[in-house]
A and B are shown apart, each in its own frame.
Chain A
């Protein structure tokens, strides 16, 4: 990949859970385990997985909203983990986040126009009047109008608030935007509007996006590349259309098979492919985290963690049984 803007190597996050009483040992939650990937310019990388896969934690680690336990994050040539507080704030002008809860992520006592301007204000960009005109232009870009500037979040719909959230992230011209389940809380018809907005915006503003979602169809639509996470590990990664058309990893296959198709004559989702429940993230598994549910599991799978290795045409897979 020609000069990726984001390089992640061996990223780990272990949460130490508070003891419920003095006699219990502190429990560790292995949220993110040994994640490595590159993200190129103007590339959309979809991150999919179910609950507990660590995708939300991953987004926050990259922006250093949470401190990694170990690993390297290199953003535009800078080691994100070594930055001082002041330097980190400056770097935040180049990487932004759009959150899951559209109205919850906006200050209820601030007009949405001012909320968008805040990003500029935080970084000392532009005078007050210049900020206002830039915000007005941004409102137009995201499909709102100047009249919306003085509205408060509770006066707008979820979809409109999410447009504000996107405006707030893009107004500073970041190189990277992490979208953490950014459309999951919206009605289906509104989701589509936001997706279309993103398509349009990407033509105007080249920006790399990490699109985190549990919704496979949405990820399929927006992503160039996809990363499939399970229990904090990458199971499979590759070009989006390739993965969705022809998944190799047993988990990815099971995940896709569980997704109901909209053809009434198709059989019921193959619920047998993914039996059982997701294991607890409190135990660090000795081998592959998927071993408890995998049909192809062998003894080796329970003993050794499979490495993520390339299998050609930009695809990688972490499995002992697939070549």
Chain B
């Protein structure tokens, strides 16, 4: 028996439902200190990546230090220099761009496509579902490294190779989550209610199923981003990503491996950035999950 009455302020008459829902969303986010803090961190990170050209003290691909492997705190080089006498700080800032792009872009793309596929599969079911899932099963078979190598063989190593490889590998996983979410929503009473009210298939799909199935998919995708940073860095480490001398956290680890004994900071600084970024996204995903679960529990 549901009889709870929540006390939210009554919106002034005339405000449309959409803006009031947005306002409510912003209000919930700002009320939640953990999530706000994490989102601010994310904004900072994104800001640093975008402003790398401005913030970076030196050119990241040019040797600017007096000697290679200068330690942290050296004059003029806050984070020291790497094995080719380049400024680590500048390379980290510029590398942030690449790392964020290769993890966020394919994940976003895979999420968008999987939402569409999952929605169609879950809504129509039957043969459409069977066919779509069968096609997806093929994708499931690809191990990422082999796929990346194959793509690199065709397209040459680089940013695009990593992005495409990650996209292809992620697609079946996110689609599975999207499909399950869609199936759950389709079985809810309000879908039948909308049908009985006279709703057509397109209207029900777009206004009833889609908004209610997205939550779990987004949560899942956010946690994937954290993982993809590590995966993308790994592929870069293997030489399948951006080629030297371009700055990229994974490549920086590879280059620093040679001087690990003498100058561990060359490896650990980019490594640390990967860990922190992945952690940030995972924590955001956790918070979002709690948010959605709390709503469902209500």
Q: Which residues of A contact B (CB under 8 A)?
A: 63, 65, 89-90, 92-93, 96-97, 99-111, 113-114, 118-119, 121-123, 146-147, 149-152, 154-161, 165, 168-169, 172, 185-187, 190
Contact = CB atoms under 8 A, between A and B. Distances in A.
Contact of B197 (A90, A92, A155): A92
Given A155-B8, A158-B3, A119 B198 contact: yes
Interface of B: 1-6, 8, 10-11, 13, 15-17, 20-21, 188-190, 192-200, 203, 207-208, 211-212, 295, 298
11 contacts: A99-B192, A102-B2, A105-B193, A107-B207, A107-B212, A108-B190, A110-B207, A114-B17, A149-B17, A157-B2, A187-B1
Highest count of chain A CB atoms <10 Å: which of B2, B8, B211, B295: B2
Highest count of chain A CB atoms <10 Å: which of B197, B199, B208: B197
A159 B189 CA distance: 17
Contacts of A89: 198, 200
A157 B197 contact: no
Contacts of B17: 110-111, 113-114, 149-150
Given A106-B190, A147-B13, A118 B195 contact: no
Given A105-B192, A111-B21, A161-B2, 14 more contacts: A93-B198, A96-B197, A97-B196, A111-B17, A118-B194, A119-B197, A122-B194, A122-B200, A150-B17, A150-B20, A154-B298, A159-B3, A160-B5, A168-B193
Contacts of A92: 196-198
Contacts of B192: 65, 99, 105
Highest count of chain B CB atoms <10 Å: which of A103, A108, A169: A108
A65 B190 CA distance: 13
B246 to A, nearest CB: 43
A169 B197 CA distance: 7
A151 B211 CA distance: 17
A134 to B, nearest CB: 15
Q: Which 10 A-B pairs have the closest CB atoms?
A: A111-B17, A92-B198, A122-B198, A105-B193, A158-B2, A109-B211, A104-B189, A147-B10, A97-B196, A119-B197
Contacts of B212: 107-109
Nearest to A106: B190
Contact of A122 (B2, B16, B199): B199
Contacts of A113: 17
Nearest to B6: A155
B3 A168 contact: no
Given A99-B189, A147-B10, A157 B194 contact: no
B277 to A, nearest CB: 31
B197 A122 contact: yes
A113 B10 CA distance: 13
A264 to B, nearest CB: 26
Contact of A99 (B3, B6, B193, B298): B193
A118 B3 contact: no
Contacts of A168: 193, 197
Contact of B188 (A104, A147, A156): A104
Contacts of A114: 17
A89 to B, nearest CB: 5
Nearest to A168: B197
A173 to B, nearest CB: 13
A92 B199 CA distance: 9
Nearest to A123: B198
B17 to A, nearest CB: 4
Nearest to B203: A122
A187 B3 contact: yes
B20 A156 contact: no
Contacts of A107: 190, 194, 207-208, 211-212
Contact of B4 (A149, A157, A165): A157
A104 B190 contact: yes
A107 B208 CA distance: 6
B278 to A, nearest CB: 31
A86 to B, nearest CB: 9
Contacts of B2: 102-103, 157-158, 161, 185
A111 B20 contact: yes
A157 B3 contact: yes
A212 to B, nearest CB: 14
Nearest to B19: A150
A157 B21 CA distance: 19
A119 B193 CA distance: 10
A156 B298 CA distance: 11
A111 B190 CA distance: 13
Contact of A150 (B11, B189, B190, B196): B11
Given A111-B17, A113-B17, A150-B11, A186 B1 contact: yes
A169 B194 CA distance: 10
B27 to A, nearest CB: 13
Nearest to A136: B13
Nearest to A148: B10
Contacts of A161: 2
A93 B13 CA distance: 28
A89 B298 CA distance: 33
B197 A118 contact: yes
